[in-house]
């Protein structure tokens, strides 16, 4: 089952907004919504919709782009941030990636690149929804030489044999 993505676009630049809208509307299983006035950076309380992806541009009216990305990631920790720009400035791209942006899209947008980036978001969401199917056991001793490594190793071997599944063992002592 393909995950339906909710994408919020907050693009001050009309050309970028129109180009993203027409491109995303061609793709399937996507709901596209519009945010305005920096609403995404103000937090969950300002929006009833929780998007999977937020696309912002590099327009300066809401402040420097890296700071906007940090605010978005702080207020919406599970959102993936894409940047849309008409300029290919390496310094700006690096700053966006350091701030937490997943993609930096340069106009004119390549449909394959955008589609692949959205598919990666879908895969990550699907993995998170499926959850982990493993268990974690921790063996801690007060000091070295008390046999916690032997106990952990033997428990790992028994677990692998009994449940017929792969087992990972990390000895951090």
**Whole-number Å distance between alpha carbons of 45 and 16:** 27
The DSSP string of the chain is -PPPEEEEEE-S-HHHHHHHHHHHHTSSSEEEEE--TTGGGG-GGG-S---SEEEEE--GGGS-HHHHHHHHHHHSTTPEEEEEES---HHHHHHHHHHT-SEEEESSPPHHHHHHHHHHHHHHHHHHHH-----------SSTTSSHHHHHHHHHHHHHHHHTS--------
Q: How confident is the model at residue 53 (pLDDT cuts 50, 70, 90)?
A: very high
**Range of 40's domain?**
5-130
> Mean per-residue pLDDT for 79-99?
93
Same domain, 168 and 97: no
- Please give the pLDDT value at position 78: 86
Same domain, 45 and 90: yes
Q: How confident is the model at residue 43 (pLDDT cuts 50, 70, 90)?
A: low
Same domain, 103 and 154: no
Same domain, 76 and 94: yes
Give 100-126 pLDDT, tens digit per residue: 999 999 999 999 999 999 999 999 888
Give 126-166 pLDDT, tens digit per residue: 887 766 667 788 888 878 888 888 888 898 888 888 877 77
The total number of structural domains in the chain stands at 2
> Mean per-residue pLDDT for 38-55?
70
Same domain, 126 and 97: yes
Q: How confident is the model at residue 39 (pLDDT cuts 50, 70, 90)?
A: low
Same domain, 96 and 144: no
- pLDDT mean across residues, the chain: 85
Same domain, 37 and 85: yes
Residue 101 belongs to a domain with what CATH number? 3.40.50.2300
Could you tell me the end-to-end alpha-carbon distance of the chain, in angstroms, rounded to an integer?
43
- Please give the pLDDT value at position 94: 94
Residue 169: how many CA atoms within 13 Å on its side-chain side? 16
- Please give the pLDDT value at position 69: 92
Same domain, 88 and 45: yes
């Amino acid at each position: 089952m393909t995950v339906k993505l909710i994408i919020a676009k907050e693009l001050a630049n009309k050309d970028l907004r129109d180009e993203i809208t027409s491109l995303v509307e061609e793709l399937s299983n996507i709901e596209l919504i519009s945010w305005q006035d920096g609403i995404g950076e103000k937090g969950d309380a300002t929006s009833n919709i929780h998007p999977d992806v937020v696309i912002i541009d590099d327009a300066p009216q809401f402040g420097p782009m890296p700071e906007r990305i940090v605010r978005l990631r702080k207020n919406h920790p599970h959102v993936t941030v894409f940047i849309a720009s008409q300029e290919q400035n390496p310094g700006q791209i690096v700053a966006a990636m350091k701030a937490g942006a997943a993609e930096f899209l340069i106009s004119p947008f390549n449909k394959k690149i955008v589609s692949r980036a959205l598919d990666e978001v879908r895969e990550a969401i699907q993995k998170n929804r499926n959850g982990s199917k493993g268990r974690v056991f921790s063996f801690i001793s007060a000091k070295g030489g008390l046999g916690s490594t032997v106990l952990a190793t033997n428990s790992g071997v028994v677990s692998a044999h009994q449940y017929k599944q792969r087992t990972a063992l990390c000895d951090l002592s």
